[in-house]
Amino acid sequence: MSSLVLSPRSKTHTVRTTAIPGFGLTLGYTIVYLSLLVLIPLAGVFFKAAGLGFEGFWHVVSSPRVLAALKLSFGAALIGASINAVFGTLVAWVFVRYEFPGKRFFDAIIDLPFALPTAVAGIALTALYAGNGWIGQYLEPLGIKIAYTPLGVIVACTFIGLPFVVRTVQPVLQDAEKELEEAAASLGADRWQTITRVILPTVLPAVLTGFALAFARAVGEYGSIIFIAGNLPMVSEIAPLLIIIKLEEFDYAGATAVASAMLILSFILLLLVNGLQVWARKRHGGSR
């Protein structure tokens, strides 16, 4: 009898500061993990590049060939991600809102760019868009050359980025109740007003997330692009390829300098997109 009374009292000795246990342990793991996988390798890049001194670094980065490569890498990635933001949202809309035969099949196809080895994708795209390819042969007479030009880089960037936008927007659209559209219609809004004033603002944060992911993937993409780009210096040479070239010439400091420049630029751009997302989400009243 007395032991029954005592047992709950003994429990009160262990004082819990938070309701969720294991904070210290999990945070420790997180930091070790991030350090090993991300921070230490990246710090190594900057460390190696630092060997050049600022002047040497600037000399490498501001050389016309590197500048052209960086411009192409970031420009093509931004254009590709923008195209995906628009059409990926459209694709997600179709999959969420309509029923059609083969829907599951097409839905599965969306993920293929995730799974396909990038080299395979690059070779396939090149074969399609080359002057004698299935699609290229019709574009060539019109004066549009895709393979072995910057256009080809954009095509590859768009291809690999598509699933990111579709897969981030899809669940949000699914959640955005049909009732929202019905409510807008009952209040007198036409189709266009409903889409621009109700649906798009609702999915905007998700579109931005998809955009950021697609962009990040495209900037770092190597395998699929080098096949279709043709890799002409100053024209269709991407920055990751330039890094490889410099490595093959044993110019490790130069390679890490280009890599550092890419890292800094990517970081700034992702930070910007993040800021946009925070802004868009704030308009939702700070929830979700």
Residues 6 or more apart in contact with residue 231 via CB below 8 angstroms: 237, 238, 241
Closest distance of CB 198 from other proteins, Å: 6
Secondary structure (DSSP) of 19-51: SSS-HHHHHHHHHHHHIIIIIHHHHHHHHHHHT
- Residues 224, 122 contacting (CB under 8 angstroms): yes
Instruction: For other proteins, give the closer residue by CB, 37 or 183.
Output: 183
- Residues 209, 40 contacting (CB under 8 angstroms): no
Nearest to 216 by CA among 168, 270, 154, 145: 270
Instruction: For other proteins, give the closer residue by CB, 190 or 248.
Output: 190
Name the token pair of 265.
Answer: 């630029």
Q: What percent helix, strand, coil does the chain show, rounded to 5?
A: 80, 0, 20
Task: By CB under 8 A, name the binding residues for other proteins.
Answer: 177, 179-180, 182-190, 193, 197-198, 201-202, 283-288
Closest distance of CB 280 from other proteins, Å: 8
Closest distance of CB 185 from other proteins, Å: 5
Closest distance of CB 189 from other proteins, Å: 4
Instruction: For other proteins, give the closer residue by CB, 65 or 283.
Output: 283
Instruction: For other proteins, give the closer residue by CB, 111 or 177.
Output: 177
Instruction: For other proteins, give the closer residue by CB, 101 or 286.
Output: 286
Name the token pair of 210.
Answer: 């998809």
Distance of CA 227 to the CA centre of its chain: 21
User: Using CA atoms, how far apart are residues 220 and 70, in angstroms rounded to an integer?
Assistant: 11
Instruction: For other proteins, give the closer residue by CB, 181 or 251.
Output: 181
User: Using CA atoms, how far apart are residues 128 and 135, in angstroms rounded to an integer?
Assistant: 5
Closest distance of CB 166 from other proteins, Å: 22
Closest distance of CB 201 from other proteins, Å: 4
User: Using CA atoms, how far apart are residues 79 and 19, in angstroms rounded to an integer?
Assistant: 46
With both helix axes pointing from N to C terminus, report the angle between 200-220 and 252-282 in degrees, rounded to the nearest 10.
Answer: 180
Residue 104: which region, alpha, beta or left (left: phi > 0; alpha: psi -120 to 50)?
alpha
Instruction: For other proteins, give the closer residue by CB, 102 or 286.
Output: 286
Closest distance of CB 194 from other proteins, Å: 9
